[in-house]
Amino acid sequence: MRSMTGYGRGDAAKDGFKFTVELNSINRKQSDISINLPKELIELEPRIRDEINAHLSRGRINVLVGFHRSNAKAEEQVELDMALAKAYHRAIQKLQKEIKLNGSLTLDAILRAPGVMKLAESTVDAEGVWPHVEAALRKAIGGLVKMREKEGKFLTNDLAERLGLLTAGLELIRQTAPEIAKRYREQLHARIKEAGLDVSLDDERLVKEVVFFADRCDISEEITRLSSHLNQFRDCLKSNEPVGRTLDFLAQEMGREINTIGSKANAAEISQQVVKMKAELEKIREQIQNIE
């Protein structure tokens, strides 16, 4: 099981260029990929998106791709426009003669003139460099996945602990449930006796009332379904596949069963357990929001 939060970085070099890819992700219900690419590599966006989707199924994923030249490569790109430099030189000398202004003409002044020195345009063939961008991307994805898995282990342990609390609460409810009808019959008979009516425990009217009450507050089906949901949830925690959506669904179903148990069971002990289980389930729901 993996979290949806993480960071990864990868790089690769080719022909004096270094390509870097950075990924960071946060939780999101669906897959949402935002890619920031240099204009020279813009055509690689669909390939980058497909590669990410092949490894990550959910989350808001920000992708930053960049490249820069090595120092040696940069030196090769420096161009000196000799003709333009000579033209500046002649023009400045002519100006000096025209306005009869003395002054020294330095090399620095010529080099500072616009266009004399510049970096040559460097073309990058996106198709040709894709294998190297892909290598950097896979390194970044590997780092991101590793961080997600590490955090996923902590989430698994926390969820397993809370799942244990829900299971313990359900077991207490299971043990208490059969006593509810019996206790109601005894309480009903006691109230009748206090009212001065002579009605035996075997009286047909009393038995019918108890049966009706027992049927109305029967929670055996809810206990069975909730137990099944807990087992499925526990199995998901052991899975290496993305289970975030499944866990979210199971949490909703568990909440439905717990609410029904609380509304049907007419017993203080069960109501107390329902309150505790609701609190734990809410914490589980919060954690699930960050699971892939």
Give 78-111 pLDDT, tens digit per residue: 677 788 888 888 888 887 788 877 777 777 877 7
Angle between helices 126-194 and 220-237 (to 10 degrees): 150
In sign, the C-alpha dihedral spanning 234, 235, 240, 241 is negative
Mean pLDDT in residue range 11-28: 89
Given a cut of 90, is residue 251 above it in pLDDT? yes
Give 34-65 pLDDT, tens digit per residue: 999 998 899 999 999 999 999 998 899 999 99
Q: CA–CA separation, 134 vs 118, rounded Å?
A: 31
Q: What CATH number has the domain spanning 6-72+125-146?
A: 3.30.230
**Range with the poorest average pLDDT among 75-79, 115-119, 222-226, 248-252:** 75-79
**Looking at residue 218, what is its pLDDT?**
77
Mean pLDDT in residue range 192-204: 62
Q: CA–CA separation, 291 vs 6, rounded Å?
A: 12
**Looking at residue 253, what is its pLDDT?**
96
Mean pLDDT in residue range 193-208: 62
Closest CA to 68 of 34, 41, 35, 33: 41
Split at pLDDT 50, 70, 90, the class of 214 is low
Give 201-212 pLDDT, tens digit per residue: 566 666 666 566
Split at pLDDT 50, 70, 90, the class of 234 is very high
